[in-house]
Chains A and B, each alone.
Chain A
Amino acid sequence: MIRRSLSPPTRLRLADAISEAVSSIVARPARAVITCIGTLLGVAWFVTALGLASTANGQVTTAFARHLPTHVLITPKGTGAVPAASPYPIDVERRLDALHGVVASGVFWRLRLGHPVVVSAVPQPAQGTTGAGQGAAARQAAVLATSPGFLAAAAARVSQGRTFDAWDQAHRAQVCLAGADAAKAMGIGDLRRQPAIYIDDVACVVIGIVGQASGQQSILRSVMLPTATAAALWGPPDARAGAVPAVLIRTKPGAAAVVARQAPLAISPTRPAHFRVSMPPSPLRLRDQVMSTLTSMFYALGWVSLIIGTLSIASVTWLSVRERAAEFGLRRAVGARRRHIVAHVVCESAILGLTGGLAGASLGVAVVILLAWARAWVPVIAPLTVLPAPLAGAAAGVLAGLVPGLLAARIQPAAALSTSIAG
C-alpha cells in the first residue's frame, strides 16, 4: 500500500503517456492499421509527388539541354572597304577555336556577283536558248563560299565522297560539295562518275554530297566551294552585291551565351563593337517556367494529400474516441486530468502518424524509383523531402489528435461509465 501526500494534483509522465499510447495501439491492431493507412497514403503521395517533381525537373532539364543553342553567328555591322578588305583577321578561326566551349568555327559567304548566279549540272546553252527544266531548278540553289572550319561548325556530314581539305583550299581547287537537296534537284546521285556543277559557267567537280548538317540545315539546299577558290574565281565577297562574309561558331551545349560575349573580343580586341552577334533564342526561360509550374503542381498535390491524410487520422481517431468513451471515463474517474486524456489521444495519433509516415516515406521512394525505372528516367529524390516525411506524419498525427483529444477530455465519467469498456 502506498501513502502519499494528497495535495498535489495527479500527473502523468511523458514516458508513461507514450507507453500507455503504445499499449492502447497494440491492443487494437486492426484499428491502428486503418488509422495508419490514411497517413501512409498521404505521406507516400507527398513523397511521391515531390520525388516525381524532382525527377521530372531532371528530365525537363535534360530535354531542354538538347535544345540549348550551340551555334553563334557573327556578321560585320558595316560593309567596310569592299570588296578588297575582309572584316575578319586571317586567323579568325584559330582565335575563335581557342575560346573555351568552342567546338569549331568557320567563315562563309553567299556568292553574289551582281547578277543571278546560274547553277547547273550541265553546261548552260547560249543565252536565249534556256528552257530546260533542270536549269530552272538549279538556279534556286545558293552557292556558298565556305572554309573547312565552317563545315565542321555546321556539323556537316557527307553521305558520299569527302569534304574540302587544306590542299583544296591552298590550291584553290575547283571542287564543290552539293547539299543533298540541291544534288537531288540537279540529278546528281553517283559521284563515281565525277559529276560537275557549273557555277556561272565555271565547272567545279562535285567531291561530296552533304547529307546532314544539324547546325545549318539550309546548306542542304546549297552548293559549297572553298573560300579560296571562290575568291580566286570571282574575287573577295562584294558587300555591295550583298555578299557579306559571316562566321559560324559551334559551341558545346550551354556555352553559346558565353562564347557570344567573348567572340567579338577574340576577333578584334580593339573593335568588338563592329560585329553583330546572333544566336537562337535560349529555351532556359521556358524551361524555368515549365519546371516552376511542375514543381508548384506537385507540391500542391503533396500538401493536399498530406491534409487528406491528416483528416483521415482525425476521423478514425474521433470514431475511436467515441467507441472508447467508457475507457476515457474510467481514466478520468481514477485520477486522469483532462490534459492527461488529451496527451494520451495525441500521443496515440502521433505514434500512428509517425509509423504511417515511416511506411509512407518508404513506399513513396519505392514508387518514385519504380516509375522512373519504368520510364527509363533517372530518379531524383531530395533527402530534405524524404527524411522529414515521417516527422510530417507525426505532426499530422498530433494535429489530427488534438480535436478528438479535446473531445475525449470533455467526456463525463459518470455518463461514460454507464456502458462497458469496448474491447
Chain B
Amino acid sequence: MATESLTQRLRRPPAQPLIDLRRAGVSYPGQRSPALQPMDLAVRHGELVTLTGPAGSGKSTLLNVVGLLLRPTTGSYLLNGSDTATLADSERTALRGRRIGFVFQRPQLLPTRSALDNVMLPVLYAGLTRQERITAATGALHRVGLGERLHATVSELAASERQRVAIARAMVTDPSLLLCDDPTASLDQAAAAQIIGLLVSLHKDGRTVLVATREQLAAAHSSRRLGVTAGAPAGSPDADA
C-alpha cells in the first residue's frame, strides 16, 4: 500500500469519508478572529451536504479548504484518507483540475468568450486535443440545458444561464466532488429552483456535492445540513444527519 497513489485511493470504493476535516481551521495574519474556527467534518462518498449560515460565517472558507484552494492553518484535512498537507502544489492542482468541480458565488466567466470557450477552460489543462475539449464542453452544456447557446458570449447570457455555464464548467472534467458556493445568491426564485434541481440531478449521478447556500430548497434535497455560524459549525455535523 505504500506505493498506492492518492488517485488510486480516490478511485477505491469508499472505505472512509471522502472529506475528513479534523480540527481544521483557517486564520489570516493580522485578523483577530479566524476565518474558519477549527472544526471536524466528515462527508461520505455520494452525499449531498448543504452548508447554511449567514454571510461571513465561513462557508466559503470551508469550501475553499475542501476544494484545495486554501490550506488549513490548524488541524488537518484528509481527502479520501490522504492528508492533503503532504501534497505538492502540482498534486493539489491536478486534483482541483481533474477530481473537484467548483461553482463560485459569482459565475467567474471570461466575459468576452463564448459559453463553449468558458466550459472548455478546465479541460484545456487536461491535455486533451481541441476536438476532445469541444466534445466534452458541448456535452456539459447540453447537460445543463444550454445546448443551443454554445457560441453565445457571456454578455449575451442571462444570469441563470451564466450560472448554468459555471456549473457546466465545474462538471466538464466529470469530477467526483462538486463544491458550490451559494450558486443561487444572485438569482430569482425560479432560476434558483432550476439551479438547485440541476445540482440535485448531478448528485443523483453519484457525485459528492457540498453546497453552501441560504436556499431552503437546497437544504430540503440534501442528505445532511450543516449550519455554520461565525466561522464555526453550529453543532455537530452528524447531529444534523
Contact = CB atoms under 8 A, between A and B. Distances in A.
Interface of A: 1-13, 16, 20, 23, 27-28, 326-327, 330-338, 340, 412-414, 417, 420-423
Contacts of B70: 414
A4 B98 CA distance: 8
Contacts of A3: 174
B125 A333 contact: no
Closest 3 CB pairs of A and B: A335-B97, A6-B7, A27-B112
B110 A421 contact: yes
Residue of B99, B127, B128 contacting most chain A CB atoms (<10 Å): B127
Interface of B: 5, 7-8, 10-11, 64, 67, 69-70, 89-91, 93-99, 102, 104, 106, 108-113, 117, 121-128, 130, 132, 136, 139-140, 169, 171-174
A95 B66 CA distance: 103
A100 B198 CA distance: 97
A10 B169 contact: no
A335 B94 contact: yes
A24 to B, nearest CB: 9
Contact of A337 (B93, B113, B171): B93
Nearest to B132: A2
Given A2-B132, A8-B127, A327-B110, A333 B102 contact: yes
Contacts of B123: 2
Contacts of B108: 326, 330, 417, 420-421
B93 A9 contact: yes
24 contacts: A1-B174, A2-B173, A4-B126, A6-B10, A6-B95, A7-B8, A8-B94, A9-B94, A10-B125, A20-B124, A27-B110, A27-B112, A28-B112, A330-B110, A330-B121, A333-B102, A334-B125, A335-B96, A335-B125, A336-B125, A337-B89, A412-B69, A421-B109, A421-B110
Contacts of A12: 124-125
B136 A11 contact: no
A9 B90 contact: yes
Nearest to B65: A414
B69 A414 contact: yes
A1 B169 contact: no
B125 A413 contact: no
Given A13-B127, A335-B93, 16 more contacts: A1-B171, A2-B172, A3-B174, A6-B7, A11-B125, A23-B117, A27-B112, A28-B112, A334-B96, A334-B102, A335-B173, A336-B97, A337-B89, A413-B69, A417-B106, A422-B111
Contact of B111 (A16, A20, A338, A421): A421
A16 B117 CA distance: 12
A11 B127 contact: yes
Nearest to A331: B121
A343 to B, nearest CB: 11
A338 B89 contact: yes
Contact of A10 (B106, B109, B126, B140): B126
